[in-house]
Structure 1
Amino acid sequence: KLKCQAGIVVTASHNPKEDNGYKVYWNNGAQIISPVDVKIAEEIEKNLEPWEGKAWQLDILDKNKSELVSDPIDEVCDMYMSELSKLIHFPEINATVPLKFAYTPVHGVGQPYAERAFATFRFPPFISVQKQSAPDPEFPTVKFPNPEEGKETLACAIQTANEQNVDFILATDPDADRFALAERDPREDSETGWRIFTGNQLGALLGWYQWFTWRNRNPTVDVKDVYMLYSTVSSHILKSIAKVEGFNTIETLTGFKWIGNKAHELLNDRKHVLFAFEESIGFMCDAHNVLDKDGISAMCVGAEMCAYLKSIGRTLHQQLREVSILYGYHINNNSYVTCNQTDVMLKIFNRLRHFDQNDSQNSPVGRTKERDSEQKTLVQYSNKLKSHIGDDENEAVDKKKKDESYVYPKNCGHYTIVGIRDLTVGIEVDFRDGGKDKKPVLPCSSANQMITFYFDNGCEMTLRASGTEPKIKWYSEIRKKRENAEPTNENPMIDDENFRQETRKELEDLVDMVVKEFLQPEKNHLGERETSRK
């Protein structure tokens, strides 16, 4: 609206205090992707030496001394709050529901914007977590200023919430683009009495709520132009909801720069983008105005969802269970191992592309002579990437790989792999149709190590080298629909905990096997992994 050419945010986001970072947005309001990022990098390479006499002329940044500089922060905030008000669906419920919220910005910048946004949604003021309400670059109360870490980062908020008899905890990370939510539930954690939702669980809840409220406002509108987006390492729950309700979903690469630019394309085509999310507690609830994850708008929409559910006598946990019953159970296991040596990391991924099944440490569980024979089967095919490479989106894929052959594992222990997608070298193959190689839909890049395995039990697991940390991350999900489990008005909470636990155990066993066989932590001296919240 201000017709800016670019935007810059200096931020370390949720990273430790020693870090800093730099986010760049283009004139479409989304973070830069190719070719803009490549062009900028080229200009940086041309100008590695500071311009003599000009580079540190800081007085040109003084709005009182330069006509080139202005400070539109008040105007921008007014516009933001005005647009935010259009997301309100139940103002009377928000104003009157007997709920108490606590909020923490985790020593970041979110407090004044959260206060104003909450008032815009007609909520009574939330309870502030005083120890963390003011910006403090030292982050004195937390080891990691990342609400996704759970009860360790939210300890101060939990203490305040318990003292003030609060129902829900709301949190944003230091630059307020991520959002976390916790519900008082003594059954969940005897230590804290709080249920802290994961990014995937919040994605399911917010996705359901955005669809529910949009449909209520537009009961007769055709859904053929309605879209939701999610990143490839996030839960596929939106896809499952869309299959039932009829709207569209799009899967993108990891990172909101991809989600934001894809949403911009859809909006230009006169499509309606309802919602987008990424598993790392990033949510886009207002694509028409913010083409990025936004913790403030997500916080307000999330709080209204809590208020609405309270008004019909339901908790967030109960609603999540109902979403699972209606659209299928989506159980996730996401975590990582540390790997401080780049050559070791490359060796691990290249081993998976030139796999010797006899070299794996196969588990004896469930093995038979037939299974042993099956595990020794190699899926080998020549990767004719010549037809895959050359499009603008895949230029970064290494040309040397055009004529290289790849051998991927077909089994991991007693689990059968039915498909592979390798976005580093540009391969996607389904072993069930004869192993025919096809071009991946998502962009490929030799600069990023990323392989996805599809298993015959419905599990999908992605191994990915982090671009910012010395970690090999994994993202896994198993999707199952429980038969004969329809929610009812009398009892929307069917007792399905055994089914959920069995499914979770199946996924955990598979993840343990993949980590052992494919990453080989002991052999490669990888750091101990941390078990994620499921």
Structure 2
Amino acid sequence: MSPEVSTWLARDPDPGTREELQQLVDANCQSELAERFSSRLAFGTAGLRGIVGAGPNRMNRLVIQETALGLGKYLLQENTQSASKGVVIGYDGRPDSRQFAHDAASMLASLGIRVYLTEKEAPTPVVAFGVRHLNAAAGVVVTASHNPPAYNGFKVYWGNGAQIIPPHDSGIAQQIDIAATDPLPVYAIGDAERAGLLVWLNDDFYMAYRKALNTSVLLSNHNEPEALSLAYTAMHGVGAELAELLLADAGFSKVYSVAAQREPDGRFPTVNFPNPEEPGAMDLVIAEADKHQAMLACANDPDADRFAVAVRTEEGAYQMLTGDQVGVLLGHYLLTHAVPTQNLVGTTIVSSTLLEKIAESVEASYFQTLTGFKWLTNVAMEKQTDDSQFLFAYEEALGYTVGNVVWDKDGLSALVAFAQLTAELIAKGKTVWDQLESIYREHGLYINAQRSIALQQGSPPIGDTLRATPPTQIAGRGIAITDDLKVSQRFHADGMVEPIDLPPSDVLIYHLDDGSRVVVRPSGTEPKLKCYYEVVEAMSHEDCFNHVQVRAEEAMNDLISKHQASLA
């Protein structure tokens, strides 16, 4: 037995993972042991996420305890008031989440840090809300969001209520490495209670979030809500109770929950993959909507920070909206309803650029960030002014934030906002599809797609290859502008060079002369290239929408096939 394995067995507080590890040792599973001990689960800007199991490269009680100690020591180092300000902790419905949350609370309290711990499962946006609501130093959610059942995670929020960004991620990681070699304190939840360091967050806490959303001006458009019917699923997650309460508060009485997916169950028995984007994941909620002839089939992912929706068509079928379509609809709706000084909206570099065009048309302020909601909200806080308050941001992967009640993506407020948007359209005799078409007729038909390309192991970085021999065209379309985020510069075809106000990232963005766009983003963790495509098809009020859509889809297929062939 290696010294690393022996040390782990001596430190691990969980008899289950000790036994799992001992069985691997007894069976001489060298490759499995090597994989589990070759590295430590990396702590990054989303915190930790990984498969549950024994060893430092897995999610388990020991990794959680060491991570919490590292976080606590970093907080105390950064701000002497962190101990009294405290840390908010919540957790999702996965089998280990409650234990992991209690372990994290115990370790933070052992350092003298006050802990606000939820008494039951909590949606991720509720915990993010709690950081600012309680004026805490940080927040933690034990969740693997929409990942498969084998996973769990440890997500960290800073005192501003947004996900951590550099330099805090690396600073916490350094302290975790130190904590992994120090003796672990023997400290339990009961010890924290007796020391007066543990505050239980009960229903009053959840109702504070509910009240904050109900009093938000952006969620106060009660325009004939009784006319809208919708089906809803929590996808075996933690969103159902608050989703149903918030919809009822807003006057929506025709809400039909999918009973089989309503209660938290980290095994996710009715879906192969609990992500609303995955094929089949929305089947039960669409069936529920069809049963009641409802207009919308809505879903939150298991920790309720994402929102997905399928909308009934004229033919009576249900069609999923893309993340970009939901973002554009919500952005347009909010920009045309908010007070003039609340006009700051944003998206990420891989999301549709249509929101920027809509913002320009109403003289609103727009910003763009790197991929990830942590950037959207942290940048929004920096950019907003008295005359330009933050209104809305989204990313194409079903993440939306409406106003500043929560400084992270919030699938619950997005659900209410989208229901109100749809109810207002119904009151005007229109549908969601009518509204999308209206937006497209004003600004052009924007369609977006993503493709991943597997690369040979050990092949040279494709970004470097593209930089060494820059392409001048893609799929027969000239490249007008190239954004190279690795050097934070924009290169125009005529030779002009401009700086880009984004952190360095290995991303290339090609703006083509017909308005199309290609984003090339190498994966940082595996030999894979992610490509994001956008096609814009001009559209007049006289054009047949279906004909324009066919042209756009043909252009997209042509762009994808020729670009991918050029990279082969």
Matching residue of 2:243: 114
Matching residue of 2:302: 174
Picking from 46, 64, 83, the partner of 2:178 is 46
Residues of 1 paired with 2:388 and 2:500: CA distance? 24
Picking from 353, 374, 392, the partner of 2:467 is 353
> Is 240-249 or 16-25 further displaced after alignment?
16-25
* Aligned-pair Cα RMSD in Å: 2.2
Task: Say whether residues 1:80 and 2:209 are aligned partners.
Answer: yes
Matching residue of 1:148: 277
Task: Say whether residues 1:478 and 2:521 are aligned partners.
Answer: no
Matching residue of 1:465: 522
Picking from 345, 367, 390, the partner of 1:228 is 345
1:114 aligns to what SS in structure 2?
helix
Which amino acid letter does the alignment assign opposite residue 507 of structure 2? Answer: M
Q: Deviations over 1:92-138 (max 9, x none)?
A: 511x31x3211001111111111111122121151111121111111
Task: Say whether residues 1:162 and 2:290 are aligned partners.
Answer: yes
Given that 1:333 and 1:508 are in contact with CA atoms closer than 8 Å, whether structure 2 keeps it comes out as no
Matching residue of 2:224: 93
Which amino acid letter does the alignment assign opposite residue 441 of structure 1? Answer: D
Matching residue of 1:501: 550
Picking from 58, 77, 94, the partner of 2:188 is 58
Given that 1:89 and 1:213 are in contact with CA atoms closer than 8 Å, whether structure 2 keeps it comes out as no
Residue 339 to residue 320, structure 1, CA distance change in 2 (3 Å): same
How far off is 1:248 after superposition? 0.9
Residue 508 to residue 302, structure 1, CA distance change in 2 (3 Å): same
Which amino acid letter does the alignment assign opposite residue 533 of structure 2? Answer: S
Which amino acid letter does the alignment assign opposite residue 511 of structure 2? Answer: Y
Q: Deviations over 1:489-526 (max 9, x none)?
A: xxxxx6322122212211221121111112x1xxxxxx
How far off is 1:465 after superposition? 2.8
Residues of 2 paired with 1:317 and 1:462: CA distance? 28
The percent of aligned pairs where both chains have the same amino acid is 35
Given that 1:63 and 1:71 are in contact with CA atoms closer than 8 Å, whether structure 2 keeps it comes out as no
How far off is 1:63 after superposition? 6.1
> Is 299-308 or 411-420 further displaced after alignment?
411-420
> Is 77-86 or 409-418 further displaced after alignment?
409-418
Matching residue of 1:130: 259
Residues of 1 paired with 2:387 and 2:455: CA distance? 45
Higher relative contact order (CA 8 A, sep 6+): 1
Matches within 5 A, 1:12-27: 12-27=144-159
Residues of 2 paired with 1:323 and 1:511: CA distance? 25
Residue 186 to residue 140, structure 1, CA distance change in 2 (3 Å): farther
Residue 24 to residue 273, structure 1, CA distance change in 2 (3 Å): same
How far off is 1:270 after superposition? 6.0
Matching residue of 2:504: 444
TM-score (norm 1): 0.77
> Is 70-79 or 168-177 further displaced after alignment?
70-79
Given that 1:426 and 1:440 are in contact with CA atoms closer than 8 Å, whether structure 2 keeps it comes out as yes
Given that 1:147 and 1:173 are in contact with CA atoms closer than 8 Å, whether structure 2 keeps it comes out as yes
Matching residue of 2:356: 239
**Count of residues in correspondence between the two structures:** 434
Which amino acid letter does the alignment assign opposite residue 48 of structure 1? Answer: A
Q: Runs of 5+ in structure 1 lacking a partner?
A: 356-407, 487-493, 521-534
Task: Say whether residues 1:428 and 2:552 are aligned partners.
Answer: no
Picking from 166, 172, 175, the partner of 1:34 is 166
Given that 1:81 and 1:120 are in contact with CA atoms closer than 8 Å, whether structure 2 keeps it comes out as no
Given that 2:475 and 2:558 are in contact with CA atoms closer than 8 Å, whether structure 1 keeps it comes out as no
Residues of 2 paired with 1:329 and 1:119: CA distance? 35
Residues of 2 paired with 1:469 and 1:160: CA distance? 39
Residue 244 to residue 205, structure 1, CA distance change in 2 (3 Å): same
Given that 1:275 and 1:285 are in contact with CA atoms closer than 8 Å, whether structure 2 keeps it comes out as yes
Matches within 5 A, 1:58-457: 58-59=188-189, 64-85=193-214, 86=216, 87-91=218-222, 93-94=224-225, 96-97=226-227, 99-124=228-253, 126-150=255-279, 152-185=280-313, 187=315, 193-214=317-338, 218=339, 221=340, 226-267=343-384, 271-286=388-403, 288-339=404-455, 341=457, 343-344=458-459, 346-355=460-469, 408-431=470-493, 433-434=494-495, 436-445=496-505, 449-457=506-514
Q: Deviations over 1:404-456 (max 9, x none)?
A: xxxx111234222222222234442111x22x4433221104xxx32111211
1:16 aligns to what SS in structure 2?
coil
How far off is 1:53 after superposition? 4.4
Residues of 2 paired with 1:125 and 1:161: CA distance? 11
Which amino acid letter does the alignment assign opposite residue 444 of structure 1? Answer: P
How far off is 1:226 after superposition? 2.0
Residue 422 to residue 320, structure 1, CA distance change in 2 (3 Å): same
Matching residue of 1:525: none
Given that 1:101 and 1:170 are in contact with CA atoms closer than 8 Å, whether structure 2 keeps it comes out as yes
Matching residue of 2:3: none
How far off is 1:278 after superposition? 0.5
Residues of 2 paired with 1:183 and 1:312: CA distance? 17
Residues of 2 paired with 1:209 and 1:64: CA distance? 47
Q: Deviations over 1:289-333 (max 9, x none)?
A: 111110000000001111111111111111100011122221212
